Structure 1
Amino acid sequence: MSDNVAHALSGAGGGIVAMTLTYPLVSISSRLQVQRGGQGKDEYKNAADAFFKILAKEGPKGLYSGLSSGIFGIAITNGVYYYCYEAVKAVFEKAKTKNQQMSTAESMLAGAIAGSAVVLATHPIWTVNTRLTVRKKEEGEKEQNALEMGAAILKKEGLAGLYSGVGAALVLVINPIIQYTVFEQIKNKVAKFRTLGNFDFFLLGALSKLVATGLTYPYIVVKSRMQISQKDDEKYTSMLDGFKKIFATEGIAGFYGGLKSKIVQSVLTAAFLFMAKEVLFDWAVWMLVIAGARKRVAAAKA
């Protein structure tokens, strides 16, 4: 068996670790993204204001709304992504001479293929997660789990409801392309001079995600808003319609709601993910060897 499965398992495990550690920031940034710039007393002025208002009204649980679906989603997302990315990467590397690295264009193509597969496979999970995360639960209101939310969306809006904002999500495939291309290219350059350690992977993960999120944030806002249940007069009929309406009613600032908390969350998530993945890779290989899914002689890290 190739290293694809080991990469998928370690990527999924790393994603779970990262998501668990940073989920309150996910909740805050998601709520700020879908907020439409109102001035009511329940509106969030910034990340700190959102944090204290959520705590006051919903308690600590409010910061973890949708955590289970988020953990499930990130495990599937990273597992599919790393499996596909490494599979495409292996095809490119077979065509090269020994020790020759992938080019930037090849890294980007591998990321595009893997990212598209992830979006089509996991978008409904993230639609459910987004709605659970941004939902402001009133006192005494029954808690809704991911399965109940998914069933409610399917019943009311059909399959199209679960795939709301999928167009923007497919455009956002460029986010991991930028992220992993920056990561791989810098890693390859640094590796020529010295051996990388866990802290190096932490820093590289943070830097690569900072670049990717900063460049693609307006699309993240449009996608998040399309994924929630909207009133008819506020509904975005397409990604372009979303951009037009946000610009007309909120100006440029509307595309960057929650940017600070999102960047902090994304950077920390990516940093923890890459560091945890590198640590978990050897464990994943060891488990596959113990399970008889691969030979011990092939267990060296790719």
Structure 2
Amino acid sequence: MVSDSFVHACAGGAGGLVAMTATYPLMGISTRAAIDQSKNPGESLAKAVTKVIAKEGLLGLYDGLGSSLIGIGVSNFVYYFFFEATRDFVLRAKQATSAASLGTLTTLESIGAGLISGIATAFISNPIWVVNTRQTIRAVVPEKDADGQLTRKVRRLSFLETMKGIVKQDGIGALWKGIGPALVLVTNPVLQYTVFEQLKGWVLKSRSARASKHAAQPLLGDFDFFWLGALSKLVATAVTYPQIVIKSRQQAMTNESLQGKKMPNVWTAMTDVIQDEGIVGLYRGISSKMLQSILTAAILFSSKERIFAMTKSR
């Protein structure tokens, strides 16, 4: 019999694919804005979208979609597998020593499960996101042609072609560029799922208290999972966005752009951004990222729970 952890992992992966496909243009705009190191104020979302379409066509909004779908599928599968396995272990341990509860984790338990899941996900999925970042920004980073002249010609390479190019140019270690801020960003899903679990527990407890003793156990519907997912992601993204900017910039760096210098650590990178661009530099692209993150989380949570329920009913 397939375990609930595995079903949750599959449902999470499938839900992630649906959510990413629906919101990918917003993610691309956010990534482009995050690596912009000019001192000019950021463009509005509408202007940024129009600019990309004018220069690269409608497909420009979907550069890197393939690698992002691989990344989100792998990331969500790994994260949900470890999170649900840890959650089940903790709940079984609690039920062995006390009466059965509503099946929710405490704040500390959610944080612990999130840390374990996040660290595993960061190491396994980082190479995919490096490829995605390079694909997304390829059209906005000057490249040299056969004669050594700078060109902005758009070249769309496949996932494997991009990965091979990275390894050939910068070595296999380049696939883990940005792992420092990626590990710091483990706090993003930790915050997200902690807020989600606590809000979920609060809603269930509130509805249970209002229900009669003979009423069925209160359940959460699709809309509940939608707004719980959106609100929890809003909190997480607002707190951790500067690390998203640093990670994107490090993943976009090549040996040529570093000019023989060592990759700066997270703290040094943040300090450099503030000195060169001001504090606003740490929040470039946050508007499109917030919108994308909220919609992604809302779609992900609602579709994941629906897919899980449909799978278990068979």
- When normalised by structure 1's length, the TM-score is 0.89
| Mapped contact 2:245–2:284 kept (Cα < 8 A) | yes
> Which 10-residue stretch deviates more, 96-105 or 60-69?
96-105
Q: Following the alignment from structure 2 to structure 1, what is the Cα–Cα distance between the partners of residues 169 and 16? A: 31
* Cα deviation digits, residues 15-55 of structure 1 (max 9, x gap): 0000000000011011001111255xxx9623222101100
Please tell me whether residue 99 in structure 1 is matched to residue 101 in structure 2. Answer: yes
* Cα deviation digits, residues 209-263 of structure 1 (max 9, x gap): 0000000011110011000025226974221221111011001000000111100
Q: Counterpart amino acid of 2:120?
A: A
Q: Counterpart amino acid of 1:113?
A: I
- Sort the Cα spacing of 1:32 and 1:78 in 2 relative to 1 into closer, same or farther, 3 A: same
* Cα deviation digits, residues 75-95 of structure 1 (max 9, x gap): 111011001001111111111
Corresponding residue to 2:193 among 160, 168, 180: 180
| Mapped contact 1:28–1:258 kept (Cα < 8 A) | yes
Instruction: List aligned pairs for 1:263-282, cutoff 5 A.
Output: 263-282=290-309
- SS of 1:96 mapped into structure 2: helix
Please tell me whether residue 258 in structure 1 is matched to residue 256 in structure 2. Answer: no
| Mapped contact 2:29–2:61 kept (Cα < 8 A) | yes
Q: Following the alignment from structure 2 to structure 1, what is the Cα–Cα distance between the partners of residues 277 and 133? A: 22
Q: Following the alignment from structure 2 to structure 1, what is the Cα–Cα distance between the partners of residues 192 and 43? A: 29
Corresponding residue to 1:123 among 116, 122, 126: 126
* Cα deviation digits, residues 174-207 of structure 1 (max 9, x gap): 0000000100111111112043210111000000
- Sort the Cα spacing of 1:172 and 1:140 in 2 relative to 1 into closer, same or farther, 3 A: closer
Partner of 1:297: none
Please tell me whether residue 247 in structure 1 is matched to residue 245 in structure 2. Answer: no
Q: Counterpart amino acid of 1:172?
A: L
| Mapped contact 2:25–2:62 kept (Cα < 8 A) | yes
| Mapped contact 2:138–2:155 kept (Cα < 8 A) | no
Amino-acid identity (%): 45
Q: Following the alignment from structure 1 to structure 2, what is the Cα–Cα distance between the partners of residues 125 and 93? A: 33
Partner of 1:200: 224
RMSD between aligned residues: 1.8
Q: Following the alignment from structure 2 to structure 1, what is the Cα–Cα distance between the partners of residues 35 and 301? A: 28
- Sort the Cα spacing of 1:224 and 1:142 in 2 relative to 1 into closer, same or farther, 3 A: closer
- Sort the Cα spacing of 1:139 and 1:243 in 2 relative to 1 into closer, same or farther, 3 A: closer
- SS of 2:195 mapped into structure 1: helix
Q: Counterpart amino acid of 1:275?
A: S
Please tell me whether residue 211 in structure 1 is matched to residue 242 in structure 2. Answer: no
Partner of 2:204: 191
Partner of 2:30: 29
Corresponding residue to 1:48 among 35, 46, 49: 46
Please tell me whether residue 14 in structure 1 is matched to residue 41 in structure 2. Answer: no
Corresponding residue to 2:184 among 158, 171, 179: 171
How many equivalent pairs are there? Answer: 284
> Which 10-residue stretch deviates more, 185-194 or 161-170?
185-194
Q: Following the alignment from structure 1 to structure 2, what is the Cα–Cα distance between the partners of residues 197 and 119? A: 31
Q: Following the alignment from structure 1 to structure 2, what is the Cα–Cα distance between the partners of residues 81 and 7? A: 10
* Cα deviation digits, residues 96-144 of structure 1 (max 9, x gap): 1322632110110000000100011110000100111122167754321
| Mapped contact 1:9–1:79 kept (Cα < 8 A) | yes
Q: Following the alignment from structure 2 to structure 1, what is the Cα–Cα distance between the partners of residues 220 and 252? A: 41
Partner of 1:232: 258
Unaligned 5+ residue runs, structure 1? Answer: 290-302
- When normalised by structure 2's length, the TM-score is 0.86
- SS of 1:26 mapped into structure 2: helix
- Sort the Cα spacing of 1:221 and 1:139 in 2 relative to 1 into closer, same or farther, 3 A: closer
- SS of 1:61 mapped into structure 2: helix
Q: Following the alignment from structure 1 to structure 2, what is the Cα–Cα distance between the partners of residues 47 and 82? A: 32
Partner of 2:160: 147
> Which 10-residue stretch deviates more, 268-277 or 44-53?
44-53
| Mapped contact 2:39–2:277 kept (Cα < 8 A) | no
Partner of 1:81: 79
Q: Counterpart amino acid of 2:90?
A: F
- Sort the Cα spacing of 1:74 and 1:150 in 2 relative to 1 into closer, same or farther, 3 A: same
Partner of 2:137: 134
| Mapped contact 1:8–1:78 kept (Cα < 8 A) | yes
Q: Following the alignment from structure 2 to structure 1, what is the Cα–Cα distance between the partners of residues 12 and 126? A: 18
- Sort the Cα spacing of 1:205 and 1:176 in 2 relative to 1 into closer, same or farther, 3 A: same
- SS of 2:264 mapped into structure 1: coil
